[in-house]
């Protein structure tokens, strides 16, 4: 699958709000967490996050934190 910029783009501050974290935490996660969505540099002064990548990350985190149900 080609890496394209289709879909909604969010600037870092918007991405942080969507994730419920601060901007510095967003950048820290982007730097140290291998499964965190990668920022896309579109020019020397503009970096974006793709909303679909953030949505997929949130879904993975929600799935990972769901307790397993134990059938009796």
Q: Is the pLDDT of residue 2 over 60?
A: no
CA–CA separation, 72 and 4 (whole Å): 46
Q: Quickly count helices (H) and strands (E) in the chain.
A: 3, 3
Summarize pLDDT for 29-59 with one digit per residue, the tens. 999 999 999 999 999 999 999 999 999 999 9
CA distance 47 to 27: 11
Domain limits of the chain? 9-65
Q: What is the largest CA-CA distance in the chain?
A: 58
pTM confidence score: 0.79
């Amino acid at each position: 699958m080609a890496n394209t910029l289709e879909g909604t783009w969010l600037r870092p501050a918007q991405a942080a709000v969507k994730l419920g974290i601060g901007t510095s935490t967003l950048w820290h996660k982007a730097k140290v967490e291998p499964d965190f969505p990668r920022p896309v540099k579109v020019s020397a002064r503009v970096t974006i996050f793709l909303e679909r990548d953030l949505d997929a990350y949130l879904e993975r985190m929600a799935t990972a934190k769901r307790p397993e149900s134990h059938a009796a």
